[in-house]
Structure 1
Amino acid sequence: MRVRRRAQALVIALALGLTPLLSASPAAAGEVWNYPEFPYQPTTYTEAYRGQFHFSSQQGWMNDPNGLVYANGEYHFFYQHNPHGLAWDTMHWGHATSKDLVHWTQKPIALEPDVHPGTLFSGGGVVDKDNTSGLKTGADDPIVVFANTDGVSVYYSNDNGKTFQAYDKGRKRITIPVQSRDPKVSWDAAHKRWVMVVWSENDAGDHGNGVEVYTSPNLLDWTHSSRYSAEWLFECPDLFQVPVDGDPNRKKWVLSTASGKYVVGDFDGTAFHADDPAPRPMDFGSGYAGGTFYAAETFQNAPDGRVVQMAWQGGNVGSTWTGNATFPAELGLVSTPDGLRITRTPVDELSSLASAKKKFDKQNVKENGANPFKGLRGDTYEISATVDVDKSTARRIAFGLHVRSDNTADRTVVYDKSAGTLDGHPVGLKKGKLKLRLLVDRGQLEVFADGGTYSLSDNVNFDSGTGSQGIRLYAEGGTAKLDSAVFRRLDSSWGTGQSTLDTDLGDRWNAVSGNWTDVAGGKQGRGSGNGFYLSTRTAGDGVYQGDVALNTAQAAGLTFRANDRGEGYTANIDKEGKVKLWRPGRDIATYNTPVTADSTHHLKVTTEGNRIRVFLDNGTDPVIDATDDAYAEGRYGANVFNGTATLQNLNTGDTGLDAFSTAKWNTSGGTWTTAGDGLHGSSPGDGFYLSERTGEDFTYEGDLSVTNGTATGLTFRADEKGQGYTATLDTKGQVKLWRPGKDLATHDTTVTEGRTYHMKVRTDGDRIRVWLGDDAAPVIDTTDATYRSGRFGVNAYNGNVIAQHLRIG
């Protein structure tokens, strides 16, 4: 939703009877140090009117799809979002992912106000596979998205959408002197550059509609190329190519707008030229903000050259959410006697939800006669039917959906033979036959006909009660000739992915005991006794590690070599002050150590035959080294005992923090976890992760990154609270050497969020030198005699940071 549309959005919300989600949770911006947030309460996605195969946000308000891309093996669906209430307010970018366009997993917030600068309204996204922007820093292809109003800012992710950084601190790469919004970017292969369309009023001041067209070689530097003016072009433009009649060597460009209207034409590298300037409707749903088909956007970089589209359906309202997306449709462009026309067809992956099928043969459906679908009941399903209209005498042919015993229905789809319309809109026939397809969900209905040239998206509050699940095909004013029909039940698409748990063990986990939910910190388990959450992956010998925060639990930890009930080995931490290795009926070994409920501890287990070793908090020596041969192999998992605990980064293998040897590390402020790419820290102020290793004169170096926020650094000669020296990388633009109460020296330089920098510190008595990168000369060379010896560690300040490859020489 956009600036001048805000009042309209609030009117829509009031008209729908929407109220804040929680009185104690008003619309709010984010905080940089705990980004990304996951502000969602648990759900089974079984609420009344919640679509079972249409995406809706786990909680809160959603509207326009944003930045739809296929990147690094996943579809990413971003959307306009208020996670804290049921009405439009304080726009964030929500995020969900899918492997197949059907099974969606809610992810943490992608873009947050006060974390990411600019107005985070609607926009587009691309996958920069060839790194034209130069923004790539890791193995993943960058996801680059565009937003803001009256100009365009750039945001990008190098970790497959987990976090986003603002390029050039969010300063606009394009400034537009009139009201504008909704940038959408595509790749122009013919001219080997990117093309952007942005809705704007014209500069004559008469509020005329149109799109500004920009081109770029690198996604960062843009040149204004042209303007396409049309009164129907209001908000959320999309410019994309579609093969004509399925021929990949013959493509045309399509320019569409938020209402679903479109024109077909050509793009010459600077300007779009329509074959016919009169727009056509892409869908017959209500094409206004808050209607049933609005702000549709196509995926960039979809496999096999497919053009896949999703739109906002604002009419779906539930107890904890508002709005949903249309089911993904593949777009085509076909030749008709009236010119080229867009087709919309549900993606084939829908068949993965089909659990039962019933076929209906050719038969006559007479007025007041028998219903072919009598006795068949369905809640979420698909019907494909062919009716021979030419041979039918009926004036009207209708499908009643969610029918009750008195023949009343929640929705009826009607073909009017004399008018040649389906649900009041003109529809074409093939050889005198109507071929239609109905997708019936709990709060959604989508109707397709005439090879996809007819599309109608609707929101319907279907009554899912057992007495309201009938289906009725009937005729009025004569007989209908049914050639054939197929009914398929469609199962739920929810509950197949991991929202917040980072793991290399895949998405297929199951809770065999206890209650397990997604929270910002990972997977949270709750049990009155032992609760187990198990992966389907099994192993005998290997390495298994993860982060554990006790919260209210007595104990929690890593389970391995377990059967389907969780019976196997568990290495846990216990609030009584110990690490314990146990199996059912036996405590194998324990190690006494301070354990606090508000701290996160890292556990690692290595197994070699009957030898089991347990390591604590990235220590290089095991705290438990024992033997037991009760279980040779089994499943990986997580355990909680008597309370609530949170587990994260459940990974196999030796990835993690690569650092110098030390007995263990300790936390002094902030939250510190160990992911596959290194040590992650998050702190609102100064937080320290401190080794037990100390030194006087040395060389200390490592790779540091501020994912989002202000600063990170190498801490040395410090006490157990972190008081000592810290050489800091600050995204405000400097390297700084400081100690409590004094900045000793600074060096001005650009420090970019998300970039990794190598920092080195050398101490010789009072002399302290700091190097950045591969520079031969230090950027700081100063003296201070306050601290002579102390611990080595890492610092985080007002942000999220990553540290890796820590070395002492």
Structure 2
Amino acid sequence: MSDAAAVHAELVERAEQAAMKLEKERNNRWYPSFHIAARSGWINDPNGLSFFNGRYQVFYQHHAYSAYWGPMHWGHVSSEDMVTFRREHVALAPSIEADRDGVFSGSAVVGDDGKLYAYYTGHRWNNMFNDDDGALQVQCLATSEDGVVFTKHGVVVEGPGLKHFRDPKVFRIDGIWYMIFGACSEDNRGQVWMYTSTDMFNWEFDRILFEDPNPDAFMLECPDIFPLGDKWVLIYCPMGPRKDAYQARNSHNAGYVVGDWAPGEDFKQLTDYRLIDWGHNFYAPQTFEAPDGRRICYGWMGSFTIGTPSQETDGWGGQLTVPRELSLDEDLNLINYPVAEIEKLRGEKTEFGSFVLGLNQDKVLLEQTPPCEILLDVDLSVTDSERVGLKIGLTEDGSHTYVGYDSLAERIFVDRRLAGNGDRGYRAAPFPGGDKLSLRILIDRGSVEVFVNGGVQSVTSFAFPNAGDRSVALSSESGSITVDRLDIYPLDTIWEDERQ
């Protein structure tokens, strides 16, 4: 083992031990059961999503030494089926000059030699402390024969001297490798740059693939480009745009444009920028192609600006969304919906059938709320309740998170005003219209994910309930609700060492 490899091995082991020590003090009251999170400490962007050695590999930005953002490492979990996961060793740690202050986000692909190639941004503060004097960002490579232990190869793309230059996403077409990443131009415009390679080590600048038409967007984080049908979807996270009605309400937002693209050509934008998810906590999505051809996406649930109560007292911060399958509808809207494998977690169904909930009534559906999934179909043609609401995590003191459909605003909402703990706020996605409302709501210990009419829209938010008995109730307001179906499934944990 070389000296550099020995240093890296020591640093990843040190991080692993720190995470295991902090795990012993972790409070599980809100710790996710069926969402990926680090065993302890901080987690943000999903990284290196891939299928390698017969397993789905999920890496993520990780700080093992506290529940807050710090020098970035890559944490790691893996699974044979995307719903039964085992924790792997910390994969990457800052250990060379190029990544001295952080192994930032990136992607992973399988090379022709059978190894896993992980590309990431090496980050260095110019003042060795913070961003006040800027930073140097370069693109680095590490490879692995087993997906667990990595060998670093250093810098493969030098920085062009821009303020922001990070988050490489790599893919291949017809024997040519392509790398895109986000950049901030010299005139402060958010762009996506593209490089190409034939050997995975030597990369050449190809073009500026895309510039956000919004002049307020000064950086496009975590870009990803992939085909769906005969179109290409470009996902990115614009930094800078101001709040606009229901859109861009968070300090960090994620969206997409759809266009035409072919190797050697510029990207031709066909749609406006659209949010992927309208919730409080959805950022930095990354996709990969599953062995069966599905395009799968994970996003990060967290915030860089508003802390969570789990960080303050429970020894962990942040989690990933459930894996979602992506598709395009005929209007080039990006559909995102939980992968079919999630149904493997279901326990015995509680079935309520069809019924009418009368004027200003509440119907308790669960006295206690385990991690679960609610499927609710409502006939809006014979529903005149102003809102079709579900009070989730309802405790004796009245605290709850309110999820449902607002007929006045014609939107699907998550309202955390009475949630009990953490940030409050209201987020709402547009309802696609029609007489049928279909909601699929995934409830974990500290989060909700709401999918509308098969994934036409989604709303993802943390929701930290108060202590005590936590019920779920269906609620009508100034009218009645006609329910066609209401089913509830408890959901098992994803962690193989915690299965009953």
SS state at 1:144 partner: strand
**1:219 pairs with one of 200, 214, 217:** 200
Cα RMSD, aligned residues only: 2.6
Cα pair distance change 1:306/1:374, threshold 3 Å: closer
**1:202 pairs with one of 167, 185, 200:** 185
Q: Counterpart in 2 of 1:283?
A: 277
Q: How big is the shift at 1:464? A: 5.8
Distance 2:70 2:169 in 1: 26
Q: Counterpart in 2 of 1:308?
A: 296
SS state at 2:342 partner: helix
Cα pair distance change 1:53/1:202, threshold 3 Å: same
SS state at 2:348 partner: strand
Q: How big is the shift at 1:69? A: 1.4
After superposition, the C-alpha distances for 1:695-714 in whole angstroms (9 at most, x for unaligned) are xxxxxxxxxxxxxxxxxxxx
**Are positions 1:177 and 2:161 aligned together?**
yes
Residues 194 and 216 in structure 1, CA contact (< 8 A), matched pair in contact too: yes
Residues 231 and 261 in structure 2, CA contact (< 8 A), matched pair in contact too: no
**Are positions 1:327 and 2:317 aligned together?**
no
**2:438 pairs with one of 435, 440, 444:** 435
Q: How big is the shift at 1:272? A: 4.2
TM-score of the aligned structures, taking structure 1 as reference length: 0.51
Residues 40 and 315 in structure 2, CA contact (< 8 A), matched pair in contact too: yes
**Are positions 1:187 and 2:188 aligned together?**
no
Q: Counterpart in 1 of 2:131?
A: none
Q: Counterpart in 2 of 1:75?
A: 56
Q: How big is the shift at 1:161? A: 2.2
Distance 2:265 2:161 in 1: 20
Residues 35 and 321 in structure 2, CA contact (< 8 A), matched pair in contact too: yes
SS state at 2:200 partner: coil
After superposition, the C-alpha distances for 1:238-259 in whole angstroms (9 at most, x for unaligned) are 3232434xxxxx3433332262
Cα pair distance change 1:34/1:443, threshold 3 Å: same
Residues 232 and 259 in structure 2, CA contact (< 8 A), matched pair in contact too: yes
Cα pair distance change 1:369/1:84, threshold 3 Å: closer
**Residue type of the partner of 1:323?**
G
**1:63 pairs with one of 44, 52, 74:** 44
**Are positions 1:165 and 2:154 aligned together?**
no
**1:395 pairs with one of 383, 386, 389:** 386
Identity of aligned residues (%): 26
Gaps of 5+ in 1: 1-29, 245-249, 287-291, 498-507, 511-809
Q: Counterpart in 1 of 2:403?
A: 413
Distance 2:172 2:494 in 1: 34
Q: Counterpart in 1 of 2:283?
A: 294
Cα pair distance change 1:364/1:429, threshold 3 Å: farther
Q: Counterpart in 2 of 1:377?
A: 368
**Are positions 1:144 and 2:132 aligned together?**
no
After superposition, the C-alpha distances for 1:428-479 in whole angstroms (9 at most, x for unaligned) are 34641111110000111100002212111100112463x22x1111111111
Distance 1:313 1:370 in 2: 30
Cα pair distance change 1:463/1:355, threshold 3 Å: farther
Cα pair distance change 1:117/1:106, threshold 3 Å: farther
How does 1:163-562 map onto structure 2 within 5 Å? 163-167=149-153, 170-189=154-173, 191-203=174-186, 206-227=187-208, 228-230=210-212, 231=214, 232=217, 234-244=219-229, 250-257=230-237, 259-276=253-270, 278-286=272-280, 292-299=281-288, 301-314=289-302, 316=308, 317-318=310-311, 319-335=314-330, 339-369=331-361, 371=363, 373-374=364-365, 376-405=367-396, 408-423=398-413, 425-429=428-432, 431-463=434-466, 465=468, 467-468=469-470, 470-496=471-497
SS state at 1:377 partner: coil
Cα pair distance change 1:97/1:181, threshold 3 Å: farther
Cα pair distance change 1:374/1:451, threshold 3 Å: closer
**Are positions 1:99 and 2:98 aligned together?**
no
SS state at 1:162 partner: coil
After superposition, the C-alpha distances for 1:92-131 in whole angstroms (9 at most, x for unaligned) are 11122122222332222211112584253433223234x2
TM-score of the aligned structures, taking structure 2 as reference length: 0.81
Distance 2:366 2:446 in 1: 23
Higher relative contact order by CA 8 Å / sep ≥ 6: 1 or 2? 2
SS state at 1:478 partner: coil
Distance 2:25 2:63 in 1: 20
After superposition, the C-alpha distances for 1:171-195 in whole angstroms (9 at most, x for unaligned) are 3433322123333334243x54222
Distance 1:311 1:50 in 2: 17
Distance 2:344 2:83 in 1: 8
Alignment: residue pair count: 439
Distance 1:159 1:305 in 2: 24
Distance 1:33 1:279 in 2: 43
Distance 1:312 1:370 in 2: 33
Q: How big is the shift at 1:277? A: 5.5
**Residue type of the partner of 1:282?**
I
Residues 11 and 95 in structure 2, CA contact (< 8 A), matched pair in contact too: no
Cα pair distance change 1:157/1:192, threshold 3 Å: closer
Cα pair distance change 1:447/1:278, threshold 3 Å: same
After superposition, the C-alpha distances for 1:290-345 in whole angstroms (9 at most, x for unaligned) are xx11111113x42211111112212552511111111111111111xxx3011111
Q: How big is the shift at 1:370? A: 5.6
Residues 242 and 331 in structure 1, CA contact (< 8 A), matched pair in contact too: no
Q: How big is the shift at 1:282? A: 0.4
After superposition, the C-alpha distances for 1:388-415 in whole angstroms (9 at most, x for unaligned) are 1122111111011122356x24201131
Residues 43 and 58 in structure 1, CA contact (< 8 A), matched pair in contact too: no
SS state at 1:493 partner: coil
**Residue type of the partner of 1:285?**
G
Residues 284 and 300 in structure 2, CA contact (< 8 A), matched pair in contact too: yes
Gaps of 5+ in 2: 1-5, 124-135, 239-252, 414-426
How does 1:635-646 map onto structure 2 within 5 Å? none
Cα pair distance change 1:391/1:61, threshold 3 Å: same
After superposition, the C-alpha distances for 1:15-58 in whole angstroms (9 at most, x for unaligned) are xxxxxxxxxxxxxxx94453541222355987111011111111
Distance 1:144 1:374 in 2: 46
**Residue type of the partner of 1:490?**
L
How does 1:634-713 map onto structure 2 within 5 Å? none
Distance 2:50 2:166 in 1: 16
Q: Counterpart in 2 of 1:546?
A: none
Distance 2:404 2:434 in 1: 20
